[in-house]
Amino acid sequence: MRKMRRKGLASMAAQTAASTTDSTVDLGPAAALSCRECGHRVPLGPVFACEECFGPLEIAYDFSSYDTEELRKRIEAGPANIWRYAPLLPVPADVADKPNINPGWTQLVKADNLARELGVTGGLYVKDDSGNPTHSFKDRVVAQALEAARAFGFTTLSCSSTGNLAGAVGAAAARAGFRSCVFIPHDLEQGKVVMAAVYGGELVGIEGNYDDVNRFCSELIGDPAGEGWGFVNVNLRPYYAEGSKTLAYEICEQLGWRLPDQLVVPIASGSQLTKIDKGLQELIKLGLVEDKPYKIFGAQAEGCSPVSVAYKAGHDVVRPQKPNTIAKSLAIGNPADGPYVLDIARRTGGAVEDVNDEQVVDAIKLLARTEGIFAETAGGVTVGVTRKLIENGLLDPALTTVVLNTGDGLKTLDAVAGTGLTATIRPNLDSFREAGLA
Ligand SMILES: Cc1ncc(COP(=O)(O)O)c(C=O)c1O
Ligand SMILES: [Zn+2]
């Protein structure tokens, strides 16, 4: 399975490598691209697979000149968005002056009411990324990809998306004056479609699921029709993925430069989870947080649970599934980073768990009524999985735990359809009393 994944990547890499690779490009502390499998390094460019072994490329940095206390002060004096961490990201030093959607620095909510419901005594927090410009964590990754697209001279931004990414790309392209043309499964929630279309770019529905959309984009990238296009999650993926590190940075800074003990993270492609781990490791190496163990738990919906199934079976390869769940934003049946997620869950002592659609809906309502946070289905998955992990003894309620809500419930209203009026009354007190509301 890993071999199959790499073979696909290889052919795509060969095609994108036809675009320029430029070692003089200025993306701040980003020094090169490095293969996650064999460590082979290549200059920064719009490539994403290793020419030696076809493994995925990621950003390698030069942080050697940083002094811990100076860096901490610089971050704390920075803007209230992800660019406060620009010294740790593949972006130019003057990034905050460029037109971008400037996401991040979202609330870390101390969720005491939810903690009581779940029996968590060690401190429970919800990192609420619905507060981003297009109401999902995808703004973080797109903001990085936009800077890379600018550096490499692309003028069109594109992506394959389960919904949220399409909106984030549309908005970022609009702000920065790029053309955008994005691809989604044709049958997504109306909220996702409208949120992607309203920014004025082209939005194309593909008859198929996300994995079909992704395959189509891989073909397009190698065709003259896709020339000059920056696909944020394909040929710009190494840059894009780094945006998720900012979730780890923010969580630790908001905890007073402290690592949480446990994190519960949703999995679609698995990229977010792997980069949160990378971000935590960087903070430890840079001395910004004290080194101590932490556990990362992955969360999936039962109707699309390839990583959870592999985790429970003790496998280190992920068998693709055909998704069927209301958690459409997480509906990637063949997750590119699945094997890395398994490594991280096992290395940190975490786990990967899944919940069914009914549990997702219950969890959305639980979070809303306890903390006033209206999560999309992906947030229902993480909260539902947190509850299940506590019940089955895998997550320790006596430890500090951060649960991610990565998107806004307004985009997935159908999931809670039927939630509505308590009563309809005539505009007088008798009617109010009759309804039993007095
Ligand atoms: C709301 C939301 N949360 C989480 C994810 C998971 O992201 P990843 O593909 O990095 O695992 C997605 C992906 O589309 C998403 O839309
Ligand atoms: Zn390699």
pLDDT digits (tens, 9 = 90+) for 1-52: 343 343 334 334 433 433 444 557 899 999 999 999 999 999 999 999 999 9
Spatial contact of 402 and 263, defined as CB atoms under 8 Å apart: yes
Ligand 1 midpoint to CA 164 (Å): 8
Q: What is the mean pLDDT of the chain?
A: 94
Instruction: Using a pLDDT cut of 90, give the percent of the chain over it.
Output: 93
Residue nearest to atom 4 of ligand 1 (CA): 266
Residue to mutate, 128, 138, 247, ligand 1, most ligand atoms under 8 Å from C-beta: 138
Mean pLDDT of the 351-366 span? 98
Q: Is 412 a residue whose pLDDT tops 90?
A: yes
Entry pTM: 0.94
- pLDDT of 221-236, one tens digit each? 989 999 999 999 999 9
**Ligand located closest to 328 CA:** 1
CA atoms within 13 A on the CB side of 377: 33
The ligand 1 atom nearest the CA atom of 332: 9
- pLDDT of 250-300, one tens digit each? 999 999 999 999 999 999 999 999 999 999 999 999 999 999 999 999 999
pLDDT the model gives residue 253: 99
Q: Where in the chain is the domain with CATH 3.40.50.1100?
A: 107-135+244-416, 138-242
Instruction: Return the ∠ at Cα 148 (arms to 142 and 153), rounded to 5°.
Output: 120
d(CA 152, CA 228): 10
Ligand 2 midpoint to CA 143 (Å): 27
Ligand 2 midpoint to CA 274 (Å): 18
The ligand 1 atom nearest the CA atom of 244: 10
Mean pLDDT of the 348-353 span? 98
CATH of 107-135+244-416, one of 3.50.50.60, 3.40.309.10, 3.40.50.1100, 3.40.50.720: 3.40.50.1100
Question: Domain 138-242, CATH 3.40.50.1100 — does that match?
Answer: yes
Mean pLDDT of the 154-172 span? 96
Instruction: Using a pLDDT cut of 70, give the percent of the chain over it.
Output: 95
Mean pLDDT of the 80-91 span? 98
d(CA 297, CA 264): 5
Q: Is 268 in the pocket of ligand 1 (CB under 6 A)?
A: yes
pLDDT the model gives residue 23: 53
d(CA 57, CA 232): 14
The ligand 1 atom nearest the CA atom of 141: 10
pLDDT the model gives residue 11: 38
pLDDT the model gives residue 167: 97
Residue with structure tokens 């990362």? 296
As a dihedral over the C-alpha atoms of residue 178, residue 181, residue 185, residue 190, rounded to 10 degrees, the angle is 60
pLDDT the model gives residue 24: 73
